[in-house]
């Protein structure tokens, strides 16, 4: 059993949990994920690692209530335990393969939409620990839904905020703020890493392609069983079939067939809704 040693409400229906998982914490790298399960008959849920500490033996995850299984996870309290907490799984971030001066000289911009700030944070933190600072655009519908802002600001070179309603930072979409930084302010980037809603990543990739900036996206929201067995996370990348959980979760954003990925993401919506209705009082 894997005990929850800390639970924190980050925003409405979004919770951070530190979980005692020493072996996972010792091996984790930025960009990887874990599979958690609540109860012997619980659903296997892949969650991107938000942070990890080999010294404390803990792994941090962030979960939003969106369905039956995430509701069960978020209902757990400090002192409760996960039945399973398996990982680290997936390939580490491409940035983790770089080192030294090559890494420090790379001009990187992260674009995080909503809950995407959680998987972006460990990459920002890791870069900072290597002496390489990156910029980040953090977007959300409103100020109340922005998460991990203090932690991100401490690890980033520059934090730019965009909200749909203008309640914090730039009023508008992250793609609009990106264009303002590049076109109006003359910012130069070698790489963009976008993590967030699928449709956001699609339009970020279109915007960066027009600017000729290499782009990585994380397709973690497509994963179901997390081992490549179910095939639900199939995605076309450069005309070839890839499996998000074993070949990713990060891919070249300019090669991903986002229209196919969006259709696949909606395949289980009816079943998820049915399961959620069964869990409601």
Percentage of the residues of the chain whose pLDDT score is greater than 70: 93
Please report where in the chains the tokens 């079939």 appear, as a residue.
Answer: 241
Mean pLDDT of the chain: 89
Please indicate, yes or no, if residue 264 is contained in any of the structural domains.
Answer: no
H helix count then E strand count, the chain: 10, 17
Q: Which domain holds residue 62?
A: 2-89
Q: Do 127 and 103 form a contact (C-beta atoms < 8 A)?
A: yes
Final residue of a structural domain among 55, 73, 89: 89
Q: What is the pTM of this model?
A: 0.87
2 DSSP β-pair partners: 82
Total domains in the chain come to 2
Whether residue 126 is found in the same domain as residue 166: yes
173 pLDDT more than 60: yes
Please indicate, yes or no, if residue 7 is contained in any of the structural domains.
Answer: yes
Q: Do 204 and 174 form a contact (C-beta atoms < 8 A)?
A: yes
Whether residue 44 is found in the same domain as residue 119: no
Phi, psi (rounded to 5 degrees) for 221:
-70, -10
Residue 263 binned pLDDT confidence (cut-offs 50, 70, 90): confident
Residue 94 binned pLDDT confidence (cut-offs 50, 70, 90): confident
Write the CATH number for 178: 3.40.50.80
35: tokens are 């599979």
Whether residue 108 is found in the same domain as residue 212: yes
Final residue of a structural domain among 202, 218, 234: 218
Higher pLDDT, 60 or 243: 60
Whether residue 202 is found in the same domain as residue 109: yes
Residue 199: Cβ within 10 Å count: 13
């Amino acid at each position: 059993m894997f005990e929850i040693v800390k639970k924190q409400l980050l925003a409405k229906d979004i919770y951070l949990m530190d979980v005692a998982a020493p072996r996972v914490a010792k091996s984790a790298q930025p960009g990887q994920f874990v599979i958690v399960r609540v109860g012997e008959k619980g659903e296997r849920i892949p969650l991107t690692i938000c942070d990890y500490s080999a010294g404390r033996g803990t792994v941090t995850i962030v979960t939003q209530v969106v369905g039956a299984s995430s509701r069960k996870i978020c209902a757990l309290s400090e002192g409760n335990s996960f039945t399973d907490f398996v990982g680290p799984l997936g390939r580490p971030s491409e940035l983790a393969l770089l080192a030294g001066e090559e890494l420090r000289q790379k001009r990187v911009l992260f674009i995080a939409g909503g809950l995407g700030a959680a998987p972006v944070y460990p990459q920002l933190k890791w870069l900072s620990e290597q002496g390489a600072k990156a910029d980040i655009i953090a977007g959300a519908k409103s100020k109340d839904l922005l998460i991990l802002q203090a932690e991100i600001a401490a690890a980033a070179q520059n934090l730019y905020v965009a909200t749909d309603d203008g309640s914090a930072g730039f009023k508008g979409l992250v793609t609009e703020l990106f264009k303002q930084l590049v076109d109006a302010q003359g910012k130069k980037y070698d790489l963009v890493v976008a993590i967030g809603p699928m449709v956001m990543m699609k339009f970020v990739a279109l915007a960066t392609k027009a600017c000729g900036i290499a782009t990585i996206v994380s397709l973690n929201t497509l994963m179901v069983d997390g081992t490549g067995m179910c095939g639900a996370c199939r995605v076309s990348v450069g005309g070839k079939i890839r499996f998000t959980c074993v070949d990713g979760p990060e891919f070249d954003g300019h090669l991903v067939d986002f229209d196919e990925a969006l259709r696949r993401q909606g395949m289980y919506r009816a079943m998820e809704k049915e399961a959620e209705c069964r869990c409601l009082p």
